[in-house]
């Protein structure tokens, strides 16, 4: 099988952002403008952002035609792709792989989805991993005959449709968990059921991670290095492994947390995302860790309740290019403390739903 670099078989473009200080670049715009969050390994049909012709002319963004395969360059979506269904431009965190007469764009799309783990491993940076346009151009891709590409795409599209249906069913089960939580505990944002509550900082030890920089100098050891990407694959609330490890010297510049700790993403698009780790490991500065949790709180209940508060946390995060929660905000957050028996009843319900999700997955 012949392999070629993506940059050898098609054109690759990267976007840009018009100045946000100039309202004439944004007000009443009619040119669709995308951000990297649209790349979720799926088709992209629309956007919430538009720019004007002046904004387009005075920035480095470039129009991308339908069937462009987009790949996110930075942040939690780094390495994820989107299949563009309309003409649009994007920001500098998106690289577009333009259609080529010799390649089935869906073939490229599916191939890059299959290589995301490798792409993530190649990312540089800690809390904000990223790749470059040059990296994308140099990705090696198999180039079978177009007829073979079409046949492969047809089979993968059928499988993708089946998986999408399973995901919809699993999403309904996730909604069931949320509904059950509200039924049992009410709206914990306002604590309308008047549960006992205390500042979270009084119920556990909250610490922020740290990132040795440049991280490349500290990789290759045997201490697990926990990145956002390690925890966002799958929906298991427990994290049992990492893709990368750091050396002892890196531990001094990071934060080593104990097995059983609850880790909580405190910034960016993943803010509010939580996992329980099953090993000792180091977290970067995009994580908070909660240790020594009060016995009145089951840590699985705490994780579920934090997930229920994601939108609230986003709303109270200090303004900036990336929402960010510091330890002071989290320590002051009023955590409800329902009776432990009720917490465990809810956890038992979640476990039963998770079994149903597993059955849906293997059906």
- CATH number at 226 reads 3.90.220.20
pLDDT band at 11 (very low <50, low <70, confident <90, very high): very high
Residues 10 and 106 in one domain: yes
Residues 121 and 209 in one domain: no
Report how many domains make up the chain.
Answer: 2
* End position of a domain, from candidates 101, 118, 144: 144
Residues 64 and 130 in one domain: yes
- For range 312-339, the mean pLDDT: 78
- For range 64-73, the mean pLDDT: 96
Residues 140 and 218 in one domain: no
Chain segment 182-218, per-residue pLDDT in tens: 999 998 888 999 999 999 999 999 999 998 888 888 9
Residues 14 and 135 in one domain: yes
Q: Where are the alpha helices (DSSP H) in 204-298?
A: 228-232, 248-251
Residue 330 pLDDT > 50: yes
* End position of a domain, from candidates 105, 126, 144: 144
Asked if the structure places residue 66 within a domain, the reply is yes
pLDDT band at 321 (very low <50, low <70, confident <90, very high): very low
Residue located via tokens 């329980």: 276
pLDDT band at 236 (very low <50, low <70, confident <90, very high): confident
- For the chain, the distance separating the N- and C-terminal CA atoms, rounded to the nearest angstrom, is 34
Asked if the structure places residue 191 within a domain, the reply is no
* End position of a domain, from candidates 84, 114, 144: 144
pTM (predicted TM-score): 0.59
Asked if the structure places residue 65 within a domain, the reply is yes
Chain segment 146-162, per-residue pLDDT in tens: 999 999 999 999 888 88
Asked if the structure places residue 213 within a domain, the reply is yes
Residues 42 and 108 in one domain: yes
- Dihedral angle over CA of 275, 276, 278, 283, nearest 10: 60
Residue 77 pLDDT > 90: no
Residues 137 and 201 in one domain: no
**Listed residue (297, 293, 294, 291) closest to 339, CA to CA:** 297
Residues 130 and 205 in one domain: no
Residues 85 and 217 in one domain: no
Which structural domain range is residue 124 located in? 3-144
Position 13 scores a pLDDT of: 95
Helix (H) or strand (E) holding 291: strand 287-291
- Look at 89-93, 165-169, 358-362 and tell me which has the smallest mean pLDDT: 358-362
Residues 331 and 203 in one domain: yes
Position 309 scores a pLDDT of: 79
Residues 72 and 201 in one domain: no
- Look at 124-128, 147-151, 310-314, 326-330 and tell me which has the smallest mean pLDDT: 124-128
Tokens of 289: 């860790």
Helix, strand, coil percentages (3-state) for the chain, rounded to 5, are 40, 25, 35
- For range 160-170, the mean pLDDT: 79
Residues 242 and 308 in one domain: yes
Asked if the structure places residue 245 within a domain, the reply is yes
């Amino acid at each position: 099988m012949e392999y070629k670099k993506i940059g050898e078989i098609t054109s690759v473009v990267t976007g840009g952002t018009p100045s946000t200080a100039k309202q004439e670049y944004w007000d009443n715009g009619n040119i669709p403008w995308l951000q990297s969050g649209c790349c979720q390994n799926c088709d992209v049909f629309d956007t919430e952002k538009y720019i004007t012709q002046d904004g387009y002319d005075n920035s480095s963004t470039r129009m991308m035609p339908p069937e462009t395969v987009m790949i996110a360059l930075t942040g939690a979506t780094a390495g994820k792709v989107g299949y563009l269904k309309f003409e649009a431009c994007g920001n500098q965190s998106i690289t577009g792989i333009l259609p080529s007469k010799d390649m089935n764009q869906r073939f490229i799309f599916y191939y890059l989805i299959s290589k995301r783990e490798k792409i993530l491993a190649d990312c540089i940076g800690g809390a904000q991993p990223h790749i470059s346009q040059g990296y994308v151009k140099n990705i090696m891709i198999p180039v079978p005959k177009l007829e073979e590409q079409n046949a492969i795409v047809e089979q993968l599209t059928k499988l993708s449709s089946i998986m999408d249906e399973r995901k919809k069913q699993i999403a309904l089960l996730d909604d069931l968990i949320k509904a059950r939580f509200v039924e049992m505990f009410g709206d914990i944002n306002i604590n309308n059921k008047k549960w006992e509550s205390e500042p979270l900082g009084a119920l556990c030890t909250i610490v922020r991670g740290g990132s040795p920089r440049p991280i490349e100098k500290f990789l290759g050891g045997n201490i697990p290095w926990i990145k956002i990407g390690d925890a966002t694959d799958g929906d298991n609330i427990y994290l049992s492994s990492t893709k990368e490890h750091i050396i002892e010297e890196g531990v001094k510049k990071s934060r080593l947390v104990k097995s059983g700790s609850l880790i909580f993403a405190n910034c960016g698009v993943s803010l509010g995302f939580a996992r329980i780790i099953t090993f000792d490991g180091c977290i970067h500065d995009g994580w908070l860790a909660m240790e020594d949790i009060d016995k009145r709180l089951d840590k699985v209940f705490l994780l579920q309740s934090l997930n229920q508060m994601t939108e609230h946390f986003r709303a109270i995060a200090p303004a900036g290019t990336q929402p960010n929660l510091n330890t002071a905000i989290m320590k002051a957050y009023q955590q409800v403390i329902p009776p432990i028996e009720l917490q465990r009843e809810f956890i038992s319900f979640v476990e039963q739903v998770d079994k149903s999700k597993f059955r849906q997955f293997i059906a």
